[in-house]
């Protein structure tokens, strides 16, 4: 845990890039499966040692299933029974940063995708934009002419890692994102399959294990739980039912894995917190003096907010923000995130400092902040992530090996 950042934000929980994060997990997996070795450290413990001797290795990424969610939703589940340890996500604890780290083996510092909304300056005569890098849409300005392909060429700078493993690689994603520019870039030369339901995903994966003619690495991405918890929070009945469906799919797959010499790994990109409506701050409406100091709309995450300020207003903004919202958010200079190593090791993306603005607002407890642009409707999310609480930052590492091990 970075000492500087822990001091600035008492009680916060930061990535353990020394050997206990998702970034270290993918580094170890690459080494074990014959992929490239980078300067990123592997896991502290030899949890994956020898995993490459198995005919098949499966990595299932259950979006949003943090360690707390696993314990609360399924204390007696098959998934919980096989939890080996707890890892941390990356910073910010969000899909854009964490999934990109898994798919490239690079830290957020290097790949530069540091939030659902990302400040992006192409360096041309066009104005800077606030972009959602996963769907590759532009939030601001509303009249942007940038296409998803143009955005992909500018934002997706790190080569895909999984196709470089020393065996055949198959990537399985929902049909609605399988052919997106983001997915195509990070799949590279890997074999791709899409699915339309969770049950179909597990059936297709089981069939692949039974019919593959050569050793294979299989990556299955399940984003459904994340989507549901954003809409309903973490304790909703539909969330519990969906978790039970995923757990049953894992159990069924485990029986096939036993017959096909397959090692099963399961983890998540981040956890979740419930964010009550009364703890949501509309910065543009409730604190117009603060909002007037911004040069751009808010970017990053609602619980890890990057503020791009008008020239000369940084000290004034920090002072006023600490007065007005200091009960809900830590107000820190973005340069302190860089100094504290929040975004991880490796070469720094040339636009990283620019993308994180001058000031970062980090949520305390269950608070969240948003702004609403003229073309947008106010959006309340009962469940959120991206911040530095243990609930958001810690994820399980679930490992099931064939019994002969």
Gap between the Cα atoms of 385 and 269, Å rounded: 10
Gap between the Cα atoms of 90 and 220, Å rounded: 20
Q: 228 φ, ψ to 5°?
A: -70, -40
Instruction: Classify domain 277-384 at the CATH class level.
Output: alpha beta
CA dihedral 347, 220, 192, 52 (to 10 degrees): 70
Residue 304 has pLDDT above 60, yes or no: yes
Rg, Å, the chain Cα set: 21
Give me the pLDDT at residue 126, please: 77
Tens digits of per-residue pLDDT, 4-61? 999 999 999 999 999 999 999 999 999 999 999 888 999 999 999 999 999 999 999 9
Residue 388 has pLDDT above 80, yes or no: yes
For residue 171, give the nearest of 25, 60, 330, 254 by alpha carbon: 60
Stretch 306-334: mean pLDDT: 98
Residue 270 has pLDDT above 60, yes or no: yes
Q: List the domain boundaries for the chain.
A: 15-108+160-274+393-400, 277-384
Residue 292 has pLDDT above 70, yes or no: yes
Tens digits of per-residue pLDDT, 80-129? 999 999 999 999 999 999 999 999 999 999 999 999 999 999 777 778 99
Give me the pLDDT at residue 170, please: 98
Residue 202 has pLDDT above 60, yes or no: yes
Q: How confident is the model at residue 394 (pLDDT cuts 50, 70, 90)?
A: very high
Cis peptide leading into residue 180 (ω within 30°) = no
Instruction: Please report, for residues 171, 204, 207, 266, 276, the alpha-carbon distance to residue 200 in angstroms, rounded to integers and kept in the order given.
Output: 14, 6, 10, 18, 34
Superfamily of domain 15-108+160-274+393-400: Alkaline Phosphatase, subunit A (3.40.720.10)
Q: How confident is the model at residue 1 (pLDDT cuts 50, 70, 90)?
A: very low
Gap between the Cα atoms of 89 and 99, Å rounded: 10
Tens digits of per-residue pLDDT, 117-172? 999 997 777 789 999 999 999 999 999 999 999 999 999 999 999 999 999 999 99
Q: How confident is the model at residue 2 (pLDDT cuts 50, 70, 90)?
A: low
Stretch 235-251: mean pLDDT: 97
């Amino acid at each position: 845990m970075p000492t500087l950042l822990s001091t600035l934000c008492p009680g916060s929980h930061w990535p353990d890039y020394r050997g206990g994060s998702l970034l270290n997990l993918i580094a170890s997996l690459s080494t074990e499966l014959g992929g490239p070795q980078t300067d990123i450290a592997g896991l502290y413990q030899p949890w994956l040692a020898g995993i490459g001797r198995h005919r098949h290795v499966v990595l299932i990424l259950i979006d949003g299933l943090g360690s707390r969610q696993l314990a609360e939703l399924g204390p007696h589940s098959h998934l919980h029974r096989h939890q080996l340890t707890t890892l941390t996500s990356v910073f910010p604890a969000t899909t854009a940063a964490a999934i990109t780290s898994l798919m490239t083996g690079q830290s957020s510092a290097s790949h530069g995708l540091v939030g659902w909304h990302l400040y992006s300056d192409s360096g041309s005569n066009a104005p800077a934009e606030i972009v959602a890098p996963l769907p590759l849409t532009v939030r601001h300005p509303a009249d942007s002419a940038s296409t998803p392909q143009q955005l992909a060429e500018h934002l997706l700078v790190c080569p895909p890692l999984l196709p470089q493993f020393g065996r055949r690689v198959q990537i399985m994603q929902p049909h609605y994102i399988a052919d997106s520019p983001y997915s195509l870039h990070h799949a590279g030369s890997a074999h791709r399959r899409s699915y339309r339901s969770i049950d179909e995903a597990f059936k297709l994966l089981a069939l692949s294990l039974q019919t593959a003619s050569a050793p294979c690495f299989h990556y299955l991405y399940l984003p459904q739980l994340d989507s549901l918890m954003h809409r309903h929070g973490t304790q909703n009945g539909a969330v519990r039912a969906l978790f039970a469906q995923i757990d049953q799919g894992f159990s069924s797959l485990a029986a096939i894995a036993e017959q096909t010499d397959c090692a099963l790994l399961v983890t998540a990109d981040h956890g979740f917190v419930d964010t009550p409506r009364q703890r949501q701050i509309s910065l543009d409406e409730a604190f117009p003096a603060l909002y007037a100091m911004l040069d751009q709309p808010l970017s990053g995450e609602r619980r890890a907010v990057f503020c791009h300020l008008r020239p000369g207003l940084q000290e004034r903004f920090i002072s006023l923000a600490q007065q007005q919202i200091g009960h809900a958010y830590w107000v820190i200079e973005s340069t302190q995130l860089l100094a504290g190593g929040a975004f991880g090791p490796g070469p720094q993306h040339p636009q990283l400092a620019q993308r994180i603005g001058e000031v970062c607002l980090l949520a305390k407890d269950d608070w969240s902040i948003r702004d609403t642009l003229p073309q947008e409707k106010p959006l309340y999310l009962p469940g959120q992530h991206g911040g530095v609480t243990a609930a958001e930052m810690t994820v399980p590492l679930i490992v099931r090996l064939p019994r002969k091990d």
